[in-house]
Amino acid sequence: MFELLLCSLLTVFPDYLYRRYAQGKRIGREITLFTVWYELRWGITACLLLTVSLITLVFYYHPSTKNVTAIFRTVTILPETVGRVAEVFVGVNSKVRTGDPLFRLDSSEQEAAHETAQRQIDETVAETAVAQTELAAADGLIQQAQGAYQQALDELATRQELLRRNADVSVREVERLQITADGRKGTRDAAVANKRTIETKLSSLLPAQKASAEAALKQAQVELDKTLVRAGVAGTVQQFTLRRGDVVNTMIRPAGILVPEGAGRARLVAGFGQIEAQVMKKGMIAEATCIGMPFTIIPMVVTEVQDVIAAGQLRPTDQLLDVGQIVQGGSLTVFLEPLFPGQLDRLPPGSSCIANAYTNNHDALAAQDIGTSRWVFLHVVDTVAIVHAMILRMQAIMLPVQTLVLGGH
């Protein structure tokens, strides 16, 4: 309507002035309701053509969309294991900081495993102390066996010397002493081997058993820590109706939702028509008005333009895809950020908005080799942006009225 009024001031109105004052025709006589088309046919035709051209020019080079949302992400509150709730620390809409406990699952099984691992460590420490005592006893046995073996060798040497001198010593007695010495030597070797076994147990076996028990204790501690669910980020707990005795399942029953601080307050996500794919560029200036901030125009800048249309995505299945089944249409996803920090702080996340993006041809107009016709066209393109800016401000004024009065809210 605004474009039609503007174009009529340039076409129909001058045509009417010419008919009225140059040709002397008067309303109600020569210019009547039945002759208005014939009398003002040139102005009306030019008005319609100019209106269509202006609307096309404005909406193509300065695109607008109502599909704008302050999208925010939520964090699902889920434990890493299935269990029954034993204790709840927060309520609905509670503010939490990073690391604050939310709820705790029944940890009887995990505590038992933790206690078992701790007892295994204590048992290994006790076995180490016993092995050290056995090592000291083994040293005594070695000394005892060494003394007995040395005594047997001395007696054997004495009898062998007497036998060599043809003293009153029998060969049988010498052989018996040799067997005794060999037996005591075996006893000494067994005591030495027993000491080596105890040393190996102290240096390798018991430390390995202790390390395994400590690893089991760490694993048990990890499983025990999983029963206490903490907030991964700072934010607000929503839809948290968990109570003691409830069973929480990691697959089918989450505990609630955590809305992070600052979520949805840094940018707006807009869906523009595909026809603007060649116009939308990173760095374009934009404006937005949101229902959550009535009568407010927020200056924005395009920070990113998604280079794919989400409606055409393909997910592999076990059936061939018919292209005709793909949803037609789809929009061009554009990310908008405020020009000045803090402008979206008062905007509730998830709010719906209206946004305009404006083409800027300043660099092209400053080029030295630009032609006259292109210079005029680019100036017209930049100038008509004011039309869309005025429309956005009219929408900002009428949006609360449409919502509260005409919408029946």
Identify whether residues 97 and 154 lie together within a single domain. Answer: no
Coil/strand/helix, residue 75: strand
What are the strands of the beta sheet with 228-230, ordered from one edge? 228-230, 101-105, 83-88, 247-248
Identify whether residues 67 and 86 lie together within a single domain. Answer: no
Identify whether residues 362 and 386 lie together within a single domain. Answer: yes
Identify whether residues 89 and 113 lie together within a single domain. Answer: no
Q: Residue 377 belongs to a domain with what CATH number?
A: 2.40.30.170
pLDDT of residue 24: 75
How many domains, in total, are found in the chain?
A: 4
Residue 319 lies in a domain: no
Q: What values do phi and psi take at 95, rounded to 5?
A: -90, 130
Residue 385 lies in a domain: yes
For 54, the domain range is: 1-61
Identify whether residues 88 and 179 lie together within a single domain. Answer: no
How do the pLDDT tens digits run along the chain, 409 residues long?
Answer: 666 666 666 677 777 777 777 777 777 776 776 666 666 777 778 878 887 887 888 888 889 999 999 888 888 888 888 888 888 888 888 889 998 998 888 888 888 888 988 898 888 888 888 888 877 887 788 788 778 777 777 777 776 766 666 666 667 776 777 787 778 778 888 878 888 888 888 888 888 888 888 898 899 888 888 888 888 888 888 888 888 888 887 777 788 888 888 787 888 999 998 888 888 989 999 999 998 888 899 999 999 998 888 877 777 777 777 777 776 678 899 999 999 888 888 888 888 999 999 988 888 888 888 888 888 888 888 888 888 888 888 889 888 888 777 765 5
Identify whether residues 152 and 173 lie together within a single domain. Answer: yes
Q: Enumerate the H helices of 328-409 as residue ranges.
A: 362-365, 372-383, 385-401
- The C-alpha atoms of residue 254 and residue 61 are separated, in whole angstroms, by 47
Identify whether residues 44 and 81 lie together within a single domain. Answer: no
pLDDT of residue 1: 63
Residues 6+ apart with CB under 8 A from 107: 83, 86, 224, 227, 228
Identify whether residues 388 and 369 lie together within a single domain. Answer: yes
Q: Which amino acid is at 98?
A: T
